Structure 1
Amino acid sequence: MSPSAAGQSRVVVIHPLLVRVTHWINAIAVFCMLFSGWAIYNASPLFPFVFPKWATLGGWLGGALAWHFAAMWLFALNGLVYALYGLLSRHFVRSFLPVSPAAFWRDATAALKLRLTHRIGQYNAVQRLAYLVAFLFGILLLASGLALWKPVQLQGLANLFGGYEAARRVHFLAMSGLVGFILLHLTLVILVPRTLVAMITGRARIPVDPVEVRS
């Protein structure tokens, strides 16, 4: 290895175009669903609280429902495109698997001690599990949302959740879990702003592995 290799870096593609496009479409759809969903919740609260009016979308129940269903279809179709790409290109396997209990415990412990390093373009075990759980929340949101939308036509689906009222609670809990993931995701962006730049441009500068540099 040449002595000049130390400190060298190169620009690489971190996020392909389709991943970036679906990411930002998903962000728009999710926030529209959240804010309109909170307006719908306020019309018939499940729990002894409501969301502030400034955090809702739609203006009234009919408007909130229109926003919610429009965002739901955008979320579903965009998710289908991303899922097909992730499976066919093996993006899911490369980015989010494997996740072992030992690796999760190691990285979670390091994170709690503020010693967890982040290499852009690579997800640690905690991030991988968080993304996998977020995907599950997304599926639960769609399934329970369809059960709430057409409880008679999709009675079999509603029954899987234990009925209409149970589906409402599953929908709310899945939404809460997704909000938790978003907060975790935004925290990482604040701590490592380069991740936001990479999701916009698709590229990032990373250190050159010494074995890649020959004398």
Structure 2
Amino acid sequence: MATPHALSKTAPPVMPKSGTIHPVWVRVTHWLNALAAILMMLSGWRIYDASPIFKSFTFPPAITLGGWLGGALQWHFAAMWLLVFNGLLYLALNLASGRFMRKFLPVSPRAVLHDFIAALTGKLSHADLRVYNAVQKFAYLFVVCDLIVLVLSGLAIWKSVQFPLLRELMGGYDNARIVHFCAMSLMAAFIAVHLVMVALVPRSLLAMLRGR
């Protein structure tokens, strides 16, 4: 009779569990957050062009949203409320369900570096979409923090008189505009990298659409 040790050597590898990967609330809030962030980014580029921080740099009108400054502001504020309320709901549900701790923590610089090198060399496994690697954990935590900075710096610009402490924490009105621009640029970079990753692992898109 084969010993348990021998059986463990010949047993087939454990396959990823079947079933739902992303519950409905994750998918709905994810897509609403994505919509709000993209609308804010495109309309923000039109607002930026009306008074550029860097005089030698503006965005082509064809990739902006709003048509003119007033229209862009309307789009921007509408998307802002969607992002704030939906983002708060997303964070609250993640924390209340324990998903935040399960999915995004723990993460360490060493683990991020290890998985980043593995990704560059094509050795990073995506067999089980339920498990986020360290690079994914870092990227998602980063974009959550970046969106918070975007909202706070936007408030410091929009309601500079009403939120003087927030304005001063940003280094003043002009510096708040720079912080807002940099945070927007980082979000655009995240979206670009995210789309590349989705193209490389198309199953991740299907999972976010149908849940499995």
TM-score, reference length from structure 2: 0.90
How far residue 4 of structure 1 moved from its aligned partner, in angstroms, is 9.8
Taking a change above 3 Å as real, the CA distance of residues 142 and 6 of structure 1, as seen in their structure-2 partners, is: closer
Q: What is the match of residue 133 of structure 2?
A: 124
Of 126, 142, 145, 1:133 maps to: 142
Correspondent of 1:110 among 104, 118, 127: 118
Distance apart, 1:101 and its partner CA? 2.2
Pairwise CA distance, 1:9: 6.7
Report percent identity of matched pairs: 54
Q: Which runs of 5+ in 2 are unaligned?
A: 1-6
- The residue that corresponds to 1:176 in the other structure is 185
Q: Report the AA paired with residue 186 of structure 1.
A: L
2:210 aligns with 201
Aligned mates of 1:148, 1:9 — CA distance in 2: 47
Deviations 1:115-141 (A, max 9, x none): 111131211101111111111100000
1:143 aligns with 2:152: yes
Residue type matched to 2:96 in 1?
Answer: L
Evaluate the alpha carbon distance shift between residue 125 and residue 7 of structure 1 in structure 2; reply closer, same or farther with a 3 A threshold: closer
1:39 aligns with 2:12: no
Matched, 1:64 2:72: yes
Distance, in Å, in 1 between the alignment partners of 2:11 and 2:142 is: 43
Q: 1:89 aligns with which of 73, 92, 97?
A: 97
5+ residue gaps, structure 1, are 204-215
How far is the alpha carbon of 1:70 from its aligned partner? 0.6
Write the mapping of 1:153-172 to structure 2, written as runs, cut at 5 A.
153-172=162-181
Equivalent in 3, 20, 25 of residue 13 of structure 1:
20
The structure carrying a bigger strand percent of its residues is 1
RMSD of aligned alpha carbons = 1.8
Q: Once the 2 structures are TM-superposed, how far is the Cα of residue 6 of structure 1 from its aligned partner?
A: 6.7
Tell me how many residue pairs correspond in the alignment. 203
Q: CA distance change for structure 1 residues 90 and 176 in 2, over 3 Å: closer, same or farther?
A: same
Q: Which runs of 4+ in 1 moved over 2 A?
A: 3-11
